[in-house]
Amino acid sequence: MVNPKKDPQWTVPLGESAELIAEKHKNSREQQDEFALASHQKAARAQEAGLFDAELLPVSVPQRKGEPLVFAADECVRPDASLSAMAKLKPSFRTSGGTVTAGNASPLNDGAAALLLVDEEGLKATGREPLARVSATGVSAQGTPGLPSYLVGRPEGYAVLDALRAAQRIDGSGVSERSPVGISGYSQGGQAAGWAAELLGDYAPELRLKGVLAGGVPTDMLTEVNHLNGNPTAGAGFAVAALVGLDHAHPELGLAARLTPEGEQAVERVENSCVFEDYLTFGTLTTGDVTQPDVLADPRWQKRFAESRLGTRKPAAPAYVYHGTSDTLVPFSQGSRLYHDWCARGQSVQFEALSGVDHVPGIVLGPPRGVEWLVVRLNGGTTPEGCNEVGLG
């Protein structure tokens, strides 16, 4: 499961990748087994309670003899898993010193997912009610058409608030000017959500914001870009994309005049890439490789990056912040800092630390409790006041 067309340092087999992550974060074999067992137990309870039933479509596989075989559940869940059984398994990927086994590694599964997007005419043809409506979009992100102000806080926040205003004015959106609103986002979206909450009081005070749900948030862009810079496990391409985004927002910085030949190629790539390419295909490329002199040593660039620092103002509504403790893209310290900064400015904030979770899994593992919190607030219910660190269930 490697890409032979890419430099070996940029593409690592999944099993070896797990070993490298375990080494980096000092996760022992016992810790991995315990986490895997807990995952099996939670999934088994969820299956038994039918929590996945509405999301699954059974598939019938014809057999040469007898009735078709029906697949209607995830096969990898092991309700009978135990630590004693896992302890007997040999490492699967390293013969010496390995800790990743068939018991604690991510299982290989076949599966597919689908999302049907239709216009109003297509919806009528189905005769069904939609699960959701897209009323307006506002934040330009990496991988969207044009040059976005990628990871530049203030324009992202304005875009979110403008999208909320637009949604209130669209016929059939189900949202009026008196409707309570909530803002939710992850990673760059979490940054945009946070900025919208901090800017709302001055820019869109008429909006009835009830809560903000933000996960994996890059809070301090100067710190974040330095973390990404030349970092193959964090996605060095994101650092280059951040340069392009900041230059787009502030053309006076003059990025094009400072690009090296390698930098011109890198910028062309990120202007036409998606986030996965930025994450996986830039190796140890640094801002010093793409710009001369290095823009990260330039006080003007440092000042502009620093202007995207979240947590300097009180958000307009209570917040729920969550972050993976093993996040390699946006360090956990950034989410923790946002929690403490907003608390210090007098806002009620719930903070959930996702133990052992990296950035991409945090998209899936983080929201459930936070979404429930936001729904309660939108429905006029009460949520904990003050600042609280939420434990894992």
- Main-chain phi, psi angles of 70, to 5 degrees: -100, 125
Which residues have a Cβ under 8 Å from the Cβ of 258 and sit 6 or more positions away?
Answer: 291, 292, 293, 295
Nearest to 9 by CA among 258, 228, 280: 280
CATH number of 221-306: 1.10.260.130
Q: What is the pLDDT along the chain (393 residues), one digit of tens a residue?
A: 455 655 565 566 778 888 988 888 899 999 999 999 999 999 999 989 988 887 788 888 899 888 998 888 888 899 999 999 999 999 999 988 999 999 999 887 777 778 888 888 888 888 888 877 776 665 555 555 555 678 888 999 999 999 889 888 877 777 788 899 999 999 999 999 999 999 999 999 999 999 999 999 999 998 999 998 888 877 788 888 889 889 988 999 999 999 999 989 888 888 777 776 777 778 888 999 999 999 999 999 999 999 999 999 999 999 999 999 999 999 999 999 999 999 999 999 999 999 888 998 888 877 788 999 999 999 999 889 999 998 644
Rg (CA), the chain: 23
* Burial status of residue 269 (CB atoms within 10 A of its CB: 0-12, 13-18, 19 or more): middle
Task: Identify the pLDDT of residue 31.
Answer: 95
* Burial status of residue 16 (CB atoms within 10 A of its CB: 0-12, 13-18, 19 or more): middle
DSSP 146: S
Which residues have a Cβ under 8 Å from the Cβ of 290 and sit 6 or more positions away?
Answer: 240, 243, 259, 260, 262, 263, 266, 267
Distance of alpha carbon 206 from alpha carbon 208, whole angstroms: 6
In CATH terms, are 172-219+311-390 and 221-306 the same topology? no
Ranges of each domain in the chain: 8-87, 172-219+311-390, 221-306
Answer for the pair 98, 16: CB distance below 8 angstroms, yes or no: no
Task: Identify the pLDDT of residue 312.
Answer: 94
* Burial status of residue 335 (CB atoms within 10 A of its CB: 0-12, 13-18, 19 or more): buried
Distance of alpha carbon 198 from alpha carbon 208, whole angstroms: 14
> 172-219+311-390 falls under which CATH superfamily?
Alpha/Beta hydrolase fold, catalytic domain (3.40.50.1820)
Distance of alpha carbon 125 from alpha carbon 122, whole angstroms: 5
